Chains A and B, each alone.
Chain A
Amino acid sequence: MQYMRAHGNTPGPTQRPLLTGAISGVLAEIPSALLLYYSGASESVAAAFGVEIWIVFAASGVLKVLAGLLYAAIFKRSANDREGGWLFGAAYGFLLWMLTPLTLWQLITSRPVAVGQAAMGLFGAQVLYGLVLGLIYPHVHSLVQGKLSDVPKSDNLQDLGGEISKTRGG
């Protein structure tokens, strides 16, 4: 928390955290989905919920976009850290595993959603998602962020004054 506070919780004038989170969430889902498939975890989850396997991947995709948005909302500016972002992301992935497959899904289905190798695959997929999310987030951020140069010129005092009022804070 001290680290996050030190970075400052406000995203800043040029950052687009929700867009960054959504894009990063989609990209991080790719390796995660592959691990879900090849470990057999996706079949276990599909069986546990009684749905087709493609629904599992579709739902996972949607949930991972939302998870990316949530990551951006929680970590804000500190998510941009290229050195520490992987750690935030891995921890976030672990938290996702604890809150969803381990608790919420089992609460819904009243039984474990995966055992053995599939369970390990489910765990690995969440952590891998978080790790990749944390790693790529700063790079996606650098691609989508705005520029400080977008400032009204001084001969447009009304617009410039209006913008200044927004930044005065207090």
Chain B
Amino acid sequence: MVIRSGDDQYGMAEFMFATGIECSYPTIDSGRWRIDQLAETKHYRYWRRDLELVRELGLKYLRYGLPLHLVYQAENQFDWSFSDEVMPAMQKLGITPIMDLCHFGVPDWLENFQNSALPEAMADYAKAFAERYPWVKFYTPVNEMYVTARMSALDGVWNEQLKTDKGFVTATHNVARSSVLMMQAILQIRPDAIFINSESSEFYQPCCPDKEIQRIADFENQRRFIALDLLYAVPVRDDIYAYLIDNGISNEEYEWFMSRAVSQSAILGIDYYEWNEKLINSEGKMEMLGELSGWYVIAEQYYKRYRRPVMHTETNTTDAEQAPNWLWRQWHNVQLIRQNGVPVIGFTWYSLQDQVDWNIGLSKALGNVFPVGLFDLNRDPRPVAQAYKYLIEMFKDEPLLAGAEVLEWN
């Protein structure tokens, strides 16, 4: 694939400033309760205003996810009533959606991420969506595959709520395979579709020169890559291969990933929050570290592993008053890494509006407002909205590629 700065061939003539509508929908409490962030942030009521706010900020790109649990009602049965209102309105406003097809949950009839039928079912959904809205070009098939698998099957918080390596490996396999099949299905309808595979950028720092603690950190630093390794056909390390085999992936399943031709139009999305960097403490347990190395250092690790164009696809901070400062720090990280040759083609503040209960990782439905949005739940702007509007205005002529006219990969 070739991208030329200023060339609209792939619909990416300019640097992609974006935001997103938070749309997570995992189940909790053993499946008895469904989190629905679109409901809790009042998006179903204010969706028109939300789309207008995107344009008022000067943004064109919007990460957007439909409520999969409401749309995909059964095998080959879809309820497009909500999307049939929203998608045309988006198109009319000149918003380019980056469609987020699976955001931390699946419909009840598909149960959870342990379901081996999930990949084919998600491919059917992706195909149906692409057929219905053929003008949509940008897709995120499965958002944050590592987080999806970890929170569902290793940390026991969402969906299947398992705490096992086997569960984690099964979920990882299923979401990675879903991503691959969804991409293939969409490309059948839209051969020029572009995929932004958003993933949480994680890093595990050992606290001390203890061999066991360093081993744990090293293992976690490999495990964070597994889903992307499968998706992008990057061979895993021998010990990680053994980990996969020991926990349920067969050699045939692994080779299925490794033998594929990876889609040439896949961009690596790298999400970063101040809790992404973790410390393995003296007891071998994980602690939040706060911002230690920052987005630049971690994004560079991901870039060196996958050598794909990159987009900064999520960031925010819990301190609404310090949010402008955080915004600018993230932006300067992006600027610096672009100057040093990493092809970062977009930047995202996530999300447009405040979120609910993300301060506890959506582990319970308490209704706590998480003030990280560009706008609060009344749709009044926070200081970071003003700051982002200024940033976009100042850098509106930012080229897609910094220091290069042409980018070729694969």
Contacts and interface: CB of A to CB of B under 8 A. Distances in A.
Interface of A: 2-3, 6-10, 12-15, 77, 80-82, 138, 141, 145, 147-149, 151-154, 157, 160-161, 163-164, 167-170
B382 A8 contact: yes
Which of B56, B378, B385, B393 lies at the interface centre, i.e. has the most chain A CB atoms within 10 A of its CB? B378
B393 A80 contact: no
B57 A148 contact: yes
B51 interface: no
Given A77-B376, A164-B394, A168-B328, A10 B387 contact: no
A87 to B, nearest CB: 14
Given A12-B383, A77-B378, A151-B390, 14 more contacts: A6-B354, A7-B369, A7-B377, A8-B320, A9-B321, A12-B380, A13-B383, A77-B380, A80-B376, A148-B389, A161-B394, A167-B383, A168-B387, A169-B387
B378 A80 contact: yes
A149 B389 CA distance: 9
Given A8-B371, A12-B381, A149-B56, A169 B323 contact: yes
Contacts of A148: 56-57, 381, 385-386, 389
B322 interface: yes
Contacts of B380: 12, 14-15, 77, 80, 141, 145
Contact of B321 (A3, A161, A169): A169
Contacts of A169: 321-325, 383, 387
A8 B387 contact: no
A13 B323 CA distance: 13
B350 interface: no
27 contacts: A3-B369, A6-B371, A7-B369, A7-B371, A8-B321, A8-B382, A10-B320, A10-B321, A12-B382, A13-B381, A15-B380, A80-B376, A80-B380, A138-B378, A145-B380, A148-B56, A148-B57, A148-B385, A148-B389, A154-B397, A160-B390, A160-B394, A164-B394, A167-B390, A168-B328, A169-B323, A169-B387
B215 interface: no
Contacts of B323: 169
Which of B368, B370, B386, B391 lies at the interface centre, i.e. has the most chain A CB atoms within 10 A of its CB? B386
B396 interface: yes
B371 to A, nearest CB: 5
Interface in B357-410: 368-371, 376-378, 380-383, 385-387, 389-391, 393-394, 396-397
B56 A164 contact: no
Which A-B residue pairs are the 3 nearest by beta carbons? A6-B369, A170-B325, A13-B386
B370 A6 contact: yes
A13 B376 CA distance: 12
B406 to A, nearest CB: 27
Interface string B312-354: 0000000011111100100000000000000000000000001
